[in-house]
Amino acid sequence: MKLLIVEDEIQLLKSLEDFASKESYFYDSVATLQGALERVDLYDYDCIVLDINLPDGNGFELLEILYRKEKSHGVIILSARDSLEDKLKGLGLGADDYLTKPFYFSELDARIKAIIRRKQFKTNKLVNFANLVVDPDQHQVGLNDLENSISLTKKEFAILTHLINNHKRVLTKVALAEYIWGDYVDEAQSFDFLFSQIKNLRRKLVKAGAEVEIRNIYGVGYQIEEI
């Protein structure tokens, strides 16, 4: 699960980053509208936590662009502006939720998880693919049920769920790496770090008896299939 945090208040931005790390979300964070526009052009996000008042514009502009481009990012607006007009405008432009500052991080977390379930997993709490059962909230995956759990690292779990969520298409190695590692991919000299994670994930799935295969589409990327 990957977030984009858009917030120009430095202290609140740091608190949001700490919250995302504590809850084991992958995230990118920016403090300007321009920074947010650049990120959504480069990467796909499960949810955008969006402040309305930004130094170089406002969050409504980002919503309008996402709407025009038919982007499927979930969006939660965070704003000190609690007028009904602002709420209706934000929701009308495609935001999924509107949370007024100040707020409880536990409430923000619950709303993020609800959006991710709706956007990525079609409102089902548990995801079934072949004989795998995935609980996105608890970061668990099991064989037939969660009692027979498969021990995965944080990144292995993120790769597996992203592949399952996009099982009808091939994900390029660049797109997959960017989803998991974000901007740090730009600093990488090779994709050995991705190959290593997928190799370990494949080994664990085979050992557990998972009826899936992560196929390497030569020259393109990866796709997960039932076998």
Which is more confident, 82 or 198?
Answer: 198
**102 C-beta neighbours (distance < 10 Å), count:** 8
The pLDDT assigned to 201 comes to: 96
Residues 103 and 165 occupy one common structural domain: no
Name which of 109-123, 145-159, 167-181 the model is least confident about. Answer: 109-123
**207 C-beta neighbours (distance < 10 Å), count:** 9
Output the six-digit token pair for 84: 């009904």
Range of the domain at 66: 2-121
**77 C-beta neighbours (distance < 10 Å), count:** 26
Residue 54 pLDDT greater than 80, yes or no: yes
Tell me the mean pLDDT in the region 118-145.
80
Closest CA to 48 of 105, 102, 97, 6: 6
Tell me the mean pLDDT in the region 2-25.
93
Using alpha carbons, list the distances in angstroms from residue 30 to 9, 55, 80, 183. 10, 12, 18, 12
Q: Which one of 99, 121, 143 terminates a domain? A: 121
Residue 65 pLDDT greater than 50, yes or no: yes
Percent of the chain with pLDDT over 70: 92
Q: Which one of 121, 155, 182 terminates a domain? A: 121
pTM: 0.60
Name which of 109-113, 124-128, 132-136, 217-221 the model is least confident about. Answer: 124-128
Residues 9 and 90 occupy one common structural domain: yes
**Which residues does residue 47 pair with via DSSP β-bridges, in sequence order?**
3, 74
Residue 68 pLDDT greater than 70, yes or no: yes
Residue 213 pLDDT greater than 90, yes or no: yes
Residues 6 and 117 occupy one common structural domain: yes
Domain count, the chain: 2
Q: Express each pLDDT in 141-154 by its tens digit.
A: 999 988 889 999 88
Output the six-digit token pair for 11: 């202290």
Residues 149 and 96 occupy one common structural domain: no
Residues 19 and 103 occupy one common structural domain: yes
Which is more confident, 79 or 32?
Answer: 32
The pLDDT assigned to 123 comes to: 46
Tell me the mean pLDDT in the region 157-176.
89
What is the edge-to-edge ordering of all strands in the sheet holding 47-51?
A: 26-30, 2-6, 47-51, 74-79, 97-100
The pLDDT assigned to 109 comes to: 92
Look up the CATH number of the domain holding residue 172.
Answer: 1.10.10.10
The pLDDT assigned to 96 comes to: 85
Residues 174 and 107 occupy one common structural domain: no
